[in-house]
Amino acid sequence: MAWNQSFYSYNNLTGHGNAVANTNPLYLMEAQVNYYDQDLNLINNDQFVTCQLVSQDPLTVKYTVNKNAKWSDGVPVDASDLMLSWAAQSGKYNTGELKTDDNGNPIPQPNVVAFDASSTGLALVKDTPTISDGGQSITLKYSTFFADYPIALTMGVPAHVIGMKALGAKDGASAKTAMNTAFQKDDKAALKKVADFYNTGFDFTELPSDKELYLSSGAYLLTDFKKDQYMTFKVNPDYNWGPKPSIQQITYRFIPDAMASVQALQNGEIDMTNPQATVDVLGAVNNLKNQGVDVINTIGSTYEHVDMAENNKGPFDPATYGGDKAKAQQVRAAFIKTIPRQNIVSRLIKPLNPTATTRDSFTLVPGSPGYDEMVQQNGSANWKDADIAGAKDLLAKAGVKTPVTVRFLFAKDNTRRQNEFKLIQQSAQQAGFTLVDASRTDWGAQLPNTKIYDASLFGWQSTNTGVTANCDNYKTKGQNNFYGYSSAALDAACVKLNAATTPEDQLKYLIEIEKALWSDSFGTVIFQFPEIVASNSKKLQNVKMIPLSPGPFWNFWEWTTTS
């Protein structure tokens, strides 16, 4: 099978590692606490971890790991691994801000503990969780109700590996003890070492010589990884704590060019591809139907959007205007008015999906419950399509000298994004913006590094149906808020959203969040992705798609082959 971007981090719970490029391969290797089925029902993988609601007031949840589950080095998977996930994502032990280098990679700071992970709903678990049942169970007590508690805690990287690498433990058991002791005693010296290794110790772009850096807890073992070429996965013979696959080996190839991946499918070099959808790609895969190629053409979970940096002393940063936030907001608003949202949809998306429309919500998918009400109230109507005259007027009112230079980051090897950039560039030029092509092949890893760009064009993919995850993109210092954006009103709405128990209240607070985003000119959204999955039905069967990450990989255990 083929994917368009190479793997670069075994830890996709970090900010810089949180990408589909990493999530798909890891889904093959990591046992899942829960997953979604074809109808987007959340399925608890009780063969691996059971999740028990102990109390709703205070919200108390107990997780118990199957005592037979183990990492591929033979060390048991247990509550220590879940404790590490909580510690990293709760933010409890952080003593300072995370710093990154010019490539967006975390860099250690003297005497500072800073996990590169989002302060999610797990931040509401203020007290260190308790471990029981011989180290198999962990109990979390929330300080207030959290609407998405069923999906809050996930299994991440192995705690014992960090205990050995960062704390010098000699074996798995002593490593877990050292890790848990550091958390329970809030040992800052030890926790700094833990955080620093957690952040970057599992980053690699080819097979490491140290096998402990790519252990498996799931269905497949990583056995080979050639940089920018392919990864090889072989079935884990010991795995019996989740759905078991029948396919013995998977070769996961990296083919950035969509048409090249279609050609590879036609030539029999691959059996499945999920390329970026374009009219040419759709036509090419449809032409292969008479050769036994199955084509899924649907709406996906990803939405295209443009964000702007407010923290790099560029054209959208108040610091450029002596700290004048109002002037910076006017420049951002002017730029948004130049983005030809409707034209992009009409020219690039409607040929794939004739009913396609602009997406007018940062948080809700078109057609989902509450979407119409959201769009009526969130303020998006003011930004429906390009308004060159309005953009010029805003720049004039701001007293900003034109042309305004904007470095624009997007995927260099993505045809659709190249076309989008051209359309935006041509439109923005009419209002006085000069867009500089700052595209890169490693654009995903560069998102935290706003020193190299002023605006970015990419897609956010939903990984779950929870409502609170949206806040990570927009709240002050949220994991995916790379841009320095901060709104007291939005932050307050996120706090309320966390504890909202009814759909009505959840929509109410989502609307508050979006009103802040649109009025502050945070950025804009453009369209919901069309998705194409093409597979060789003569060899590979039961390929299906869901509108959540990991897309067509969600049911790999149901795949079968005829040869």
Using one digit for the tens of pLDDT, what is the confidence trace for 306-324? 999 999 999 999 999 999 9
Q: What pLDDT sits at residue 117?
A: 87
Provide mean pLDDT across the span 415-441.
Answer: 96
CB of 167 within 8 A of CB of 195?
A: no
Q: Identify the H or E element spanning 188.
A: helix 188-200
Q: Is the pLDDT of residue 299 over 80?
A: yes
Q: 399 with 393: CB under 8 angstroms?
A: no
**pLDDT grade for 15, boundaries at 50, 70 and 90:** confident
Token pair of 244, please?
A: 């078991």
Residues 6+ apart with CB under 8 A from 216: 29, 30, 71, 72, 222, 236, 239
For residue 146, give both structure tokens: 């959290």
* Start-to-end C-alpha separation, the chain: 15
Measure the CA–CA gap between 263 and 270, rounded to whole angstroms. Answer: 9
* Cα distances (Å, whole numbers) of residue 349 to 288, 332, 355, 367, 382: 21, 25, 9, 17, 22
> What domains does the chain contain, in order, with CATH numbers?
2-200 (3.90.76.10), 217-299+532-552 (3.40.190.10), 301-529 (3.10.105.10)
Contact 233, 29 (CB under 8 A): yes
DSSP state of 345: I
pLDDT at 171: 97
pLDDT of 119 > 80? The answer is no
Tell me which residue of 2, 3, 8, 89 sits closest to 444, measured CA to CA. 8
Give Cβ neighbours of residue 314 (< 8 Å, ≥ 6 apart).
320, 406, 407, 450, 454
Q: Residues of the chain with pLDDT > 90: what percent?
A: 83
Q: What is the pLDDT of residues 88-108, one digit of tens each?
A: 999 999 999 888 887 778 999
Residue 377: how many other CB atoms lie within 10 Å: 15
Per the model's pLDDT, the better-predicted residue between 75 and 449 turns out to be 75
pLDDT digits (tens, 9 = 90+) for 384-404: 889 999 999 999 999 999 999
Q: Where residue 192 falls among pLDDT bands split at 50, 70, 90?
A: very high
Q: Which one, of 23, 30, 31, lies nearest residue 550 by Cα?
A: 23
Give CA separation, 406 vs 83, 271, 382, 421, 542, in Å: 43, 41, 22, 12, 45
Write out the E strands in 378-522. 404-409, 433-437, 455-461
Partners of 61 in the β-ladder = 53, 140
120: pLDDT strictly greater than 90: no
Look at residue 563 in the predicted model and tell me its pLDDT.
67
- In this prediction, residues 404-431 reach a mean pLDDT of 96
Tokens of 308: 């702007």
Across 52-81, average pLDDT? 97
pLDDT bin (cut points 50, 70, 90) of residue 112 is very high
H-helix segments, 339-437:
341-344, 371-377, 388-398, 415-431
Beta-ladder partners of 273: 2, 534
Please tell me the number of Cα atoms within 13 Å of 468 on its side-chain side.
25
Alpha helices, DSSP H only, in 202-292? 258-266, 279-286
Q: How far apart are CA 501 and CA 486, in angstroms?
A: 26
For residues 522 and 308, the answer to whether their CB atoms sit within 8 Å is: yes
Residue 86 belongs to what H/E stretch?
helix 79-90
Q: In this model, does residue 183 exceed pLDDT 80?
A: yes
Tokens at 248, concatenated:
């013995």
Per-residue pLDDT for 132 more than 90?
yes
Helix locations, 399-477, DSSP H: 415-431, 443-446, 471-474
Look at residue 118 and tell me whether its pLDDT is greater than 80: no
| Residue 284's pLDDT band (cuts 50, 70, 90) | very high
Report DSSP state, residue 321. Answer: G
Q: Report the sign of the C-alpha dihedral through residues 240, 246, 249, 252, in that order.
A: negative
47: tokens are 């063969």
CA 178 to CA 62: how far, in whole Å? 22
**3-class SS letters over 22-61:** HHHHHHHHCCCCEEECCCCCEEECCCCEEEEEEEECCEEE
Contacts of 306 (CB under 8 A, 6+ apart): 336, 339, 424, 455, 456, 457, 523, 524, 526
Is there a contact between 515 and 530 (Cβ–Cβ < 8 Å)? no
**250 phi, psi to nearest 5 deg:** -125, 130
- Strand partners of residue 137: 64, 132
CB contact at 8 A, 132 and 150: no
Find the helix or strand (DSSP H, E) in which 334 lies.
Answer: helix 325-338
CA–CA dist 70, 136 (Å, integer): 12
Question: 296 in helix, strand or coil?
Answer: strand
| pLDDT confidence tier of residue 365, bands split at 50, 70 and 90 | confident
The per-residue pLDDT for range 445-473, each reduced to its tens digit, is 889 899 999 999 999 888 888 888 788 89
